[in-house]
């Protein structure tokens, strides 16, 4: 323990300032690992990213090129495709996940028997490792031998080519995201159970039916939780990487390690997300200066949503 | 959950007819919600079931679209170990997960404690910065950090993923802090009156009370590492003897030219530990997930 002789004062003086100083030093000591970590793994690289974005950099030579990388971005069609794909996921996948998670949670609150069992079943898939879950879904949905195609054809329905069809690959990833909705469901369930029972009782006495209770009591009360889930969902989707990468790789039969470099996005760039393109530029093509341009853009966009979250937390802090 | 009993009884005494309608409707509602829950459960479990069934099919049957294995080929689970260096991948994954979790706990608990319970100038700012680093995509700062590790000749290993955990993990700090602020101040005040210093208060009073939260962050960290694909893809390099299970699994089918049955057997192998540990520590998980939602 760091005991400090710092600021030794006469007995007449109030003890508080001394305690405060000491408290700050102890806090500094406790915080020190994080302070170092924050500087080395966040502060420095953030500045360096901005600096590199104005350089041509292939890991060996740095050459200042001004705004060239940024101008290149404007005409990099793959980058814009990846932005459209990421936007698609933000606009479709995030709301569907929130709605579905809320629906499942609401259902669990209505159950009288087997609540624990159902909650476990709905939560379980969200624990499945991303790579394993993605592999599973590529198999389940594959048109040749997959069970989904078998079941669909048994009841006389046509089956799409999912991860082999540019129009169906993102819906396939969305199904995977809905399957692993359990973490959201648990958060929503906790929020729903926190809604004061008296509110419902009072509303029931006033003759409000289930739907009116849901829209006039449940939704307003859990709104902060929903907003938080939606915003964190957007930020997570901005970094959507693993599922798209693995699905494309497995569906195309391509590989990154047997010599040839695997280009993400199969089929036909339909699953190419923004972070995938950044990764590919930076660590497969070693266009590190240009990758930093993409990183700066990703930073600005995700910062907008993060600031929104920070505002919520600042409110929390004041209450505490 | 048994909330309906009292109003129902009141209604019975007052108006018997309406009560009977009520009960019918309640019973129908009961059946409808439970039927829906059962249908949903089947849909949630079906993928796991099909993965399991395919994992024990023969090579020939895996080429068909049959759903039920005609002969249970348990040998598949042994076969996958012969096809790929699975044991090496598992060992690497364990090393990564165990060390990262241990390092994270050592470094993050004091930080969370300071943020939750010590008063110092800049505390709010520090907390907001923790949230910011937690939220921002790792790809934003990936290039300079990669170059940093390249300078120390540590790319091509998993160390760039393990060593930073000695300097705290934002998500774990956040989660622990959210729990620690809920411990009533009286406990640490009492310890202080008994002459405990800040450090002894942390070790003797706060840590035992925070055990559920510590268990939750440890589990989350362990599984984050177990599941991590992006990190190993970035750092583990092309030599498959440095790979983790997730990384190896992703290229298993392509590199080893295997059928879906063996791929699903390997997939099941990667899922199994997570699911087993979940059933052993279900409560810690659920409590931990709740902490991630804002109140």
Confidence of residue A87 (pLDDT cuts 50, 70, 90): very high
Place of tokens 């090579």: B59
Query: Within 10 Å of residue B78's Cβ, how many Cβ atoms?
Result: 9
A140: closest chain B residue by CA: B47
Structure tokens that stand for A27 in this block: 């806090």
pLDDT exceeds cutoff 90 at A100: yes
Note whether B143 and B38 are same-domain residues.
no
Q: Clarify whether residues B34 and B169 are in a common domain.
A: no
For residue A317, what pLDDT is reported?
Answer: 53
On whether both B36 and B89 belong to a single domain, the answer is no
* Closest partner CB to B250 (pick from A191, A249, A313): A249
Q: Nearest by CB to B1, which of A112, A142, A279?
A: A112
Least confident of A112-121, A254-263, B120-129, B254-263: A254-263
B68 reaches A (C-beta below 8 A): no
For residue B284, being part of any structural domain is answered with yes
Residue B57 belongs to a domain: no
Angle at A307 between CA A93 and CA A45, to 5 degrees: 95
**Domain assignment present for B236:** yes
Q: Are B5 and B133 members of one domain?
A: no
Closest A-chain CA to B229: A242
**B292 closest CB neighbour out of A145, A187, A305:** A187
Q: Is the dihedral of CA A193, A195, A201, A206 positive or negative?
A: negative
Verify that B31 and B160 share a domain, yes or no: no
A157-178 tens-digit pLDDT: 888 889 989 999 999 999 999 9
- Check CB contact under 8 Å for A245 and B278: no
State pTM to two decimals: 0.88
Instruction: Specify whether B4 is located in the same domain as B96.
Output: no
- pLDDT recorded at residue A315: 58
How would DSSP label each residue in chain A?
Answer: -----TT---TTS-SHHHHHHHHHHHHHHHHHHHHHHHIIIIIHHHHHHHHHTTEEESSS-EEE-TTHHHHHHHT-HHHHHHHHHHHHIIIIIHHHHHHHHHHHHHHHHH--SSHHHHHHHHHGGGGS-HHHHHHHHHHHH-TTT-HHHHHHHHTT-----GGGSTTTHHHHHHHHHHHT-HHHHHHHHHHHHHS-HHHHHHHHHTT--HHHHIIIIIHHHHHHHHHHHHHHHHHHHHT--HHHHHHHHHHHT--SSSSSPPPS-TTTTTT--HHHHHHHHHHTS--HHHHHHHHHHHHHHHHHHHHHHHHHHHHHHHH-
Q: Cβ contacts (< 8 Å) between B22 and chain A: which residues?
A: none
Among residues A178, A169, A183, which one has the least CA distance to residue B44? A178
Range(s) of the domain holding residue B21? 1-45
pLDDT class of A260 with cuts at 50, 70, 90: low
| CATH at B167 | 1.10.3720.10
**B123 shares contact with chain A (CB less than 8 Å):** yes
The answer to whether residue B20 sits within a structural domain is yes
Cβ of A26 within 8 Å of Cβ of B114? The answer is yes
Is B280 found in the same domain as B136? yes
Q: What does the alpha-carbon distance between residue A155 and residue A171 come to, in Å, rounded to a whole number?
A: 21
Minimum CA–CA partner of B117 in chain A: A27
Going residue by residue through chain B (295 aa), what tens digit of pLDDT does each one get?
A: 334 444 445 444 555 556 677 788 888 888 999 999 999 999 999 999 999 998 888 888 877 778 888 888 888 898 889 888 999 999 999 999 999 999 999 999 999 999 998 888 989 899 999 999 999 999 999 999 999 999 999 999 999 999 999 999 999 999 999 899 888 888 878 887 887 777 888 888 888 889 889 999 999 999 999 999 999 999 998 888 999 999 999 888 877 667 888 999 999 999 998 889 888 888 887 778 777 765 4
Please indicate, yes or no, whether residues B16 and B96 belong to a single structural domain of this protein.
no
**Residue A258 reports pLDDT greater than 50:** no
Residue B144 and residue B266 in one domain: yes
- What ipTM did this prediction achieve? 0.87
Q: Are residues B12 and B157 in the same domain?
A: no
Domain membership flag for residue B59? no
Partner-chain contact A33 B127, CB within 8 Å: no
Residues B36 and B181 in one domain: no
Residue B65 lies in a domain: no
In a domain, B67, yes or no: no
Distance from CA of B83 to the nearest CA of A (A): 16
The minimum CA-CA distance between B246 and chain A, rounded to whole Å, is 6
Q: Which residues of A touch B199 (CB under 8 A)?
A: 1
Identify which of A30, A241, A250 has the shortest CB distance to residue B114. Answer: A30
Total structural domains in chain B?
2
> Who wins on pLDDT, A261 or B187?
B187
**Would you say residue B73 lies in a domain?**
no
**A126-146: per-residue pLDDT in tens?**
999 999 999 999 999 988 788
Q: What is the pLDDT of residues A182-231, one digit of tens each?
A: 999 999 999 999 899 888 888 888 888 888 899 999 999 999 899 989 99
pLDDT for A2 equals 37
The verdict on B8 and B134 lying in the same domain is: no
Among the partner-chain residues A1, A288, A292, the one whose CB lies closest to the CB of B197 is A1
* Selected residues 3-32 of chain B with any CB under 8 Å from a CB in chain A: 3, 29-30
Contact A150 B114 (CB under 8 A): no
- Quick one: pLDDT at residue A181? 95
In the prediction, which pLDDT does B282 show? 82
Query: What confidence tier does A13 reach under pLDDT thresholds 50, 70, 90?
Result: very low
What domains can be seen in chain A, in order of their start residue? 77-245+297-319 (1.10.3720.10)
Contact B109, B206 (CB under 8 A): no
% of chain A at pLDDT higher than 90: 60
Chain A residues whose CB is inside 8 A of the B30 CB are 112
Q: Which pLDDT score, from 0 to 100, does residue A72 have? A: 95
Average pLDDT, chain A: 87
């Amino acid at each position: 323990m760091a005991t400090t002789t710092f600021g030794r004062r006469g007995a007449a003086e109030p003890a508080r300032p001394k305690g405060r100083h000491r408290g700050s030093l102890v806090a500094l000591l406790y915080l020190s690992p994080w302070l170092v970590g924050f500087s080395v793994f966040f502060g420095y690289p953030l500045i360096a990213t901005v600096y590199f974005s104005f350089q041509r950099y292939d890991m060996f030579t740095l050459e200042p090129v001004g705004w060239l990388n940024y101008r290149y971005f404007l005409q990099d069609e793959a980058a814009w495709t990846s932005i459209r794909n990421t936007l698609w996921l933000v606009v479709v996948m995030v709301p569907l996940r929130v709605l579905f998670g809320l629906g499942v949670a609401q259902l669990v609150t209505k159950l009288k028997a087997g609540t624990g069992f159902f909650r476990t079943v709905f939560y379980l898939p969200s624990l499945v490792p991303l790579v394993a879950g993605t592999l599973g879904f590529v198999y389940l949905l594959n048109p040749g031998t997959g069970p989904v195609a078998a079941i669909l054809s048994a009841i006389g329905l046509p089956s799409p080519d999912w991860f082999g069809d540019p129009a169906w690959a993102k819906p396939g990833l969305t199904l995977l995201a809905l399957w692993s909705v359990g973490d959201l469901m648990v958060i929503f369930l906790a929020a729903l159970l926190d809604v004061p029972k008296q509110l419902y009782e009072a509303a029931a006495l006033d003759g409000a039916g289930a739907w009116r209770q849901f829209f006039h009591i449940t939704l307003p009360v859990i709104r902060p939780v929903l907003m938080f889930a939606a915003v964190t969902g957007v930020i997570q989707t901005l970094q959507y990487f693993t599922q798209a990468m693995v699905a494309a790789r497995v569906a195309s039969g391509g590989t990154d390690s047997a010599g040839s470099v695997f280009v993400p996005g199969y089929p036909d760039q339909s699953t190419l997300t923004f972070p995938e393109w950044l990764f590919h530029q930076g660590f497969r093509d070693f266009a590190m200066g240009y990758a930093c341009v993409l990183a700066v853009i990703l930073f600005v966009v995700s910062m907008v949503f993060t600031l929104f979250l920070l505002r919520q937390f600042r409110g929390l802090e004041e209450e505490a | 959950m048994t909330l309906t009993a009292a109003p129902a009884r009141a209604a019975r005494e007052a108006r018997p007819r309406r009560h009977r309608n009520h009960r019918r409707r309640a019973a129908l509602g009961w059946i409808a919600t439970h039927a829906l829950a059962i249908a949903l459960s089947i849909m949630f479990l079906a993928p796991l079931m099909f993965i399991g069934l395919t994992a024990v099919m023969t090579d020939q049957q895996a080429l068909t679209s049959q759903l039920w294995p005609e002969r249970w080929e348990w040998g598949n689970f042994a076969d996958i170990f012969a096809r790929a260096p699975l044991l090496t991948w598992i060992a690497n994954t364990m090393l990564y997960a165990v060390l990262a979790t241990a390092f994270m706990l050592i470094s993050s608990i004091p930080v969370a404690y300071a943020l939750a319970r010590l008063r110092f100038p800049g505390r709010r700012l520090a907390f907001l910065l923790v949230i910011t680093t937690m939220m921002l995509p790792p790809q934003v700062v990936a290039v300079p950090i990669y170059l940093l590790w390249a300078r120390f000749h540590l790319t091509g290993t998993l160390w760039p993923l393990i060593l930073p955990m000695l300097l705290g993990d934002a998500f774990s700090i956040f989660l622990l802090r959210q729990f620690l602020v809920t411990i009533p101040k009286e406990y640490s005040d009492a310890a202080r009156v008994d002459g405990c210093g800040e450090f002894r208060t942390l070790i003797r009073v706060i840590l035992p009370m925070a055990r559920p939260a510590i268990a939750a962050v440890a589990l989350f960290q362990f599984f984050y590492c177990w599941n991590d694909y992006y990190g190993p893809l970035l750092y583990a390099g092309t030599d498959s003897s440095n790979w983790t299970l997730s990384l190896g699994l992703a290229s298993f089918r392509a590199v080893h030219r295997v059928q879906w049955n063996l791929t699903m057997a390997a997939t099941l192998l990667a899922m199994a530990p997570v699911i087993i540990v979940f059933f052993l520590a279900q409560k810690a998980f659920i409590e931990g997930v709740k902490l991630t939602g804002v109140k």
